[in-house]
Copies of this chain bind each other. A is one copy, B any other.
């Protein structure tokens, strides 16, 4: 499957090989290069409208899409929180809302609290739907930007050891990323999490089917020195039955100055952000700290995606 055949972006599972990733990341590289030279083509998406339909707030993701669309000359119709969506409170179905907005906009970015919403939306929409996170389901553009960051920071997408740290149970991010990682050869995976937050069985089975070697750890000491990529996630208090349980485990999954000493010189530290205590601020200035670059990569990946989905097939460009 090629990028030009992509109609909606609902799940990383749509990608069965690396073809689309290769194409997308080539465009992403170009976006990044042009932006740094102030040489973006602002006419690319001129006259195109992106509708943000966010049933739960996610300012970061919304900002990233808004910036991406506008840097290419497109426009935004925006709702910060469709929980206040007046027609929704009146009992309108997601399908009706999407049908109507598809009449106004050229692409819909959907954030929803219910798993599967993006798929439902895409089934009735005349225009591309991009899943910006639906329930405990998928958040494919986050996974796409994570994989891009690995590629860009590490210089390769194969032959490396990826260590995932923290809450491996609830993270949409973790699950979507594992699928993309598995499309490339020779990757080893370390999973470091407290007992309560282990990667669910179904994903471990998936790794086995894909023949990706993985190890489970309950602390990070042993994996720091042989990891090429550390993917750190937030451990949320709410996930534990008692505050003591939380306090007990929390300290074992913190990256700080001591961790840096043990790590490879060319390792990459990633985090989907926001972070709280998992990575000490003292790490920020180390060149291996890639998480702020990772956030910025999200904008470039989304620019590449929007441009690919919205490339006009016809119409009189000269009239603009």
Q: Which residues does A use to contact B, with CB under 8 Å?
A: 37-42, 46-47, 49, 51, 56-60, 63-64, 66-67, 70-71, 75, 77-82, 84-88, 90-92, 95-97, 99-101, 103-105, 234, 273-276, 281, 292, 295-296, 299, 312, 314-316, 319-320
CB distance from A132 to the nearest CB of B (A): 12
A22 to B164, CA, bound (A): 56
A111 to B69, CA, bound (A): 25
Which one of B66, B70, B90 contacts A274 once the chains associate, using CB atoms below 8 Å? B90
A316-B39 in contact given A86-B60, A90-B234 (Cβ < 8 Å): yes
A56 to B86, CA, bound (A): 9
A273 to B99, CA, bound (A): 12
The reply to whether A274 and B77 form a contact with Cβ atoms under 8 Å apart is no
* Copies of this chain per assembly: 3
Contacts of A86 in B (CB 8 A): 56-60
A5 to B211, CA, bound (A): 58
CB distance from A298 to the nearest CB of B (A): 9
Report 28 cross-chain contacts, Cβ distance below 8 Å, ordered by A residue.
Answer: A37-B315, A38-B314, A38-B316, A39-B316, A40-B319, A49-B67, A51-B63, A57-B86, A59-B82, A59-B84, A59-B87, A60-B86, A60-B87, A60-B100, A66-B77, A66-B78, A70-B75, A80-B80, A87-B273, A88-B274, A92-B273, A92-B274, A95-B281, A96-B274, A96-B275, A97-B274, A99-B292, A103-B295
